Structure 1
């Protein structure tokens, strides 16, 4: 979506670089994720804002038409197929228009499930 190839240095810079009509939606999505995963580290990865909790948790972004929630777990997206019905899903990414944000309950479920997946993976590696 962004016109240059230089990665933003942080999420604030990324959000400032997208068109105005995406910014409020991305800020709300960011705040919700931060409230659900306060331990998560915010970073830029693959030129998009991501949250890391043990491993990459979720990412957010925008393209020319949609905002996106990068779930980063194809198995979770497959398991939630019925709940995602009617949404635009591509791989492990959910796309939505900025004026039609994803339901908060759905985002909460995704973030909590991803936190659990990442924690279980980290604990399994410690054994």
Structure 2
């Protein structure tokens, strides 16, 4: 499976994502939407991107074996190294098993860090 899927909206992307990836990414999407103030959901580079104040905050995708939360920030990934109880950080991407969507607490920790980064600009 390619990282991106041809879709015009995030909902369409998730509908086209094969199972069990689609269900897992929907759970994470819902948690992101709840955690990001005034979030906008867009498709960029063929993946869902969640924006904060007009800037990309995080994104979602999947490989053939796992789901991914795109942190879109190497400094954020470095700051989170060793601090997360779930998933595996590789570069600026947090990979997770589709059977175990990222928890609300992990999402909130990541979103808070990324918002702090963007607000500091």
TM-score normalised by structure 2 residue count: 0.88
Give the secondary structure class of the aligned counterpart of 1:77.
helix
What whole-Å deviation, never above 9, does each CA across 1:51-108 have from its counterpart, x for those lacking one?
Answer: 1113110001111111110011111111111114773222100111111222321111
Separation in structure 1 between the aligned mates of residue 85 and residue 39 of structure 2, nearest angstrom: 28
Residue 6 of structure 1: how far off its partner (Å): 6.7
CA RMSD of aligned residues (A): 2.0
Q: In the superposition, relative to structure 1, how do residues 85 and 78 fare at CA in structure 2: closer, same or farther (>3 Å)?
A: farther
Give the secondary structure class of the aligned counterpart of 1:20.
coil
Residues 2, 17 of structure 1: 8 Å contact kept: no
How many residue pairs were aligned?
120
Give the secondary structure class of the aligned counterpart of 2:120.
helix
Match of 2:9 in 1: 10
Residue 20 of structure 1: how far off its partner (Å): 1.9
Q: Kindly indicate which of the two structures has a greater share of residues assigned to helix.
A: 1
Separation in structure 1 between the aligned mates of residue 14 and residue 50 of structure 2, nearest angstrom: 15
Residues 81, 89 of structure 2: 8 Å contact kept: no
Match of 2:70 in 1: 70
Residues 66, 95 of structure 2: 8 Å contact kept: yes
Give the secondary structure class of the aligned counterpart of 1:114.
helix
Match of 1:33 in 2: 32
| Runs of 4 or more above 6 Å deviation | none
Give the secondary structure class of the aligned counterpart of 1:79.
helix
Give the secondary structure class of the aligned counterpart of 2:20.
helix
Name stretches of at least 5 consecutive residues in structure 2 with no aligned partner: none
TM-score normalised by structure 1 residue count: 0.84
